[in-house]
């Protein structure tokens, strides 16, 4: 039998499953079908680039989870999941991207044979990986089942990190430090962005003997728009050269064992404009206020209110949230899709929750980002990376 490579103890997986089952009972479901790859990994350890085809983890109210996916990917499940091989089910390849049959047809038969044709089944209705056709197939082939939306049910169980999870995120923080050091070293007028991104990946992925770690692929690619393009927060790169007289923000992340530490800094080539100097002053003062509010027992909105109050003093309006939870992630997003640091989110902050404090400004013809990834504590939060908190300038 293949012995899987596990990055957490089996006891930790069982603790996670126990928390999830309590949430299932509260939601009134007997079985959940989890398609979010981050949730699949968190519950079982599964790690593979297979989320482009239909796959899931099934969790009932007793027993170990079931991994379900493409037959050839079952080999990956055998090597990364903590469960016995009997709990790994692969579907035949004729179900892959077929117009004649669907993987959920196969899964429905299996659920019925498992003795749950009339179960109360929870599905993640609003995520990237569970399609309308998936739901239609389940409804058709399990007509006596009752389906309930459990979007983010598992995500919420991930909010408070274990000691091992935090250790991985600190390693990711060390990797993002290396990325920003490389950016500052290499960026100069005339350097093509595609070549700079190659350096970003090299810094984030190459094995580091001191860390005894190499990086994972991040869930989001490097974002580095310059000049007026920086008004758009999610542009990537092309082959154009960097220019003097422009500011560029770099939103990048270190990733280790799928745990992320995103961190943004802004670099200005040449003498920075007063606009950038004013933005730096406002953002840094606002960030200090937000970090002061980022304590266990406070609310998510307390961080946002503290930050936005400072921005208002400087006459700056930010019409989007100022942060979100982070942890284990797969493309296309490194956020956990639960809480938000914005007015109206009254979620109570708990020790060992982790957030990307996203203080980015995206104005009409410029953009500016200085951010921190933080761990909530009883007192001041822990910053997961140590990169100078300022506007970088290379004249």
pLDDT, tens only, 119-135: 999 999 999 999 999 99
Query: Strand 88-91 relative to strand 66-70: parallel, antiparallel, unpaired?
Result: parallel
Residue 395 has pLDDT above 90, yes or no: no
Q: What is the dihedral of CA 377, 379, 380, 381, to 10 degrees?
A: 0
- Per-residue confidence band for 92, with pLDDT thresholds at 50, 70 and 90: very high
What is the gyration radius of the CA atoms in the chain, in angstroms? 22
Beta bridge partners, 383, equal 374
Residue 58 has pLDDT above 90, yes or no: yes
Mean pLDDT of 103-120: 97
The answer to whether the beta carbons of residues 381 and 291 sit under 8 Å apart is: yes
- Per-residue confidence band for 112, with pLDDT thresholds at 50, 70 and 90: very high
pLDDT at 84: 97
pLDDT at 389: 98
Residue 357 has pLDDT above 90, yes or no: yes
Domains and CATH numbers, the chain: 10-157 (3.40.350.10), 163-394 (3.90.230.10)
pLDDT digits (tens, 9 = 90+) for 209-237: 999 999 999 999 999 999 999 999 999 99
Mean pLDDT of 310-329: 97
pLDDT at 347: 98
Q: How far is the C-alpha of 169 from the C-alpha of 259, rounded, in Å?
A: 6
pLDDT digits (tens, 9 = 90+) for 180-213: 999 999 999 999 999 999 999 999 999 999 999 9
Q: Determine the number of helices (DSSP H) and then strands (DSSP E) in the chain.
A: 10, 15
Which residue from 304, 272, 271 is spatially nearest to 289, judged by alpha carbons?
Answer: 304
**Percentages (nearest 5) of helix, strand, coil residues in the chain:** 35, 20, 45
Residue 61 has pLDDT above 90, yes or no: yes
- Counting residues of the chain whose pLDDT is more than 70, the rounded percentage is 100
pLDDT at 151: 98
The answer to whether the beta carbons of residues 88 and 81 sit under 8 Å apart is: yes
Which residue from 327, 270, 247, 309 is spatially nearest to 42, judged by alpha carbons?
Answer: 327
Average pLDDT of the chain to the nearest whole number? 97
The 3-class SS string of 63-74 reads CCCEEEEEHHHH
Which residue from 119, 29, 107, 42 is spatially nearest to 81, judged by alpha carbons?
Answer: 42
- Counting residues of the chain whose pLDDT is more than 90, the rounded percentage is 99
- Per-residue confidence band for 352, with pLDDT thresholds at 50, 70 and 90: very high
The answer to whether the beta carbons of residues 112 and 144 sit under 8 Å apart is: no
pLDDT digits (tens, 9 = 90+) for 275-307: 999 999 999 999 999 999 999 999 999 999 999
- Per-residue confidence band for 1, with pLDDT thresholds at 50, 70 and 90: confident
pLDDT at 34: 98
pTM assigned to the model: 0.97
Residue 159 has pLDDT above 90, yes or no: yes
């Amino acid at each position: 039998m293949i012995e899987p490579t596990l990055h957490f103890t089996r006891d930790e997986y069982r603790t996670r499953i126990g928390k999830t089952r309590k949430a299932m009972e509260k939601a009134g479901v007997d079985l959940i079908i989890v398609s979010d790859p981050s949730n699949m990994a968190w519950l079982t350890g599964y790690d593979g680039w297979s989320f482009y085809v239909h796959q899931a983890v099934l969790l009932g109210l007793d027993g170990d989870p079931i991994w379900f996916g493409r037959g050839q990917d079952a080999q990956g499940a055998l090597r990364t999941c903590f469960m016995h091989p009997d709990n790994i089910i692969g579907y035949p390849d004729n179900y892959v991207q077929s117009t004649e049959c669907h993987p959920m047809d196969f899964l429905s038969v299996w659920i019925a044979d498992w003795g749950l044709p009339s179960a109360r089944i929870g599905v993640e209705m609003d995520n990237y990986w569970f399609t309308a056709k998936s739901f239609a197939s389940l409804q058709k082939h399990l007509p006596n089942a009752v389906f309930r939306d459990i979007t983010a049910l598992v995500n919420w169980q991930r909010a408070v990190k274990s000691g091992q999870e935090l250790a991985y995120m600190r390693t990711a923080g060390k990797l993002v430090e290396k990325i920003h050091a490389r950016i500052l070293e290499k960026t100069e007028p005339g350097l093509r962005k595609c070549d700079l991104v190659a350096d970003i990946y090299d810094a984030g992925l190459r094995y580091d003997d001191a860390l005894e770690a190499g990086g994972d692929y991040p869930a989001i690619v490097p974002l580095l728009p310059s000049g007026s393009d920086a008004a758009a927060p999610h542009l990537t790169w092309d082959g154009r050269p960097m220019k003097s007289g422009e500011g560029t923000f770099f939103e990048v992340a270190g990733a280790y064992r799928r745990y992320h530490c995103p961190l943004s800094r802004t670099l200005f080539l040449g003498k920075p404009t007063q606009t950038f100097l004013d933005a730096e002053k406002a953002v840094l003062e606002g960030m200090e206020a937000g970090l002061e509010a980022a304590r266990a027992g406070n609310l998510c909105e307390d961080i946002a209110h503290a930050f936005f109050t400072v921005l208002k003093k400087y006459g700056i309006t930010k019409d989007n949230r100022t942060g979100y939870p982070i942890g284990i992630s797969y493309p296309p997003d490194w956020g956990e899709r639960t809480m938000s640091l914005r007015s109206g989110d009254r979620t109570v902050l708990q020790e060992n929750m982790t957030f990307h404090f996203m203080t980015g400004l995206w104005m009409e013809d410029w953009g500016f980002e200085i951010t921190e990834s933080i761990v909530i504590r009883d007192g001041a939060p822990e910053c997961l990376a140590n990169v100078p908190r300022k506007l970088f300038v290379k004249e």
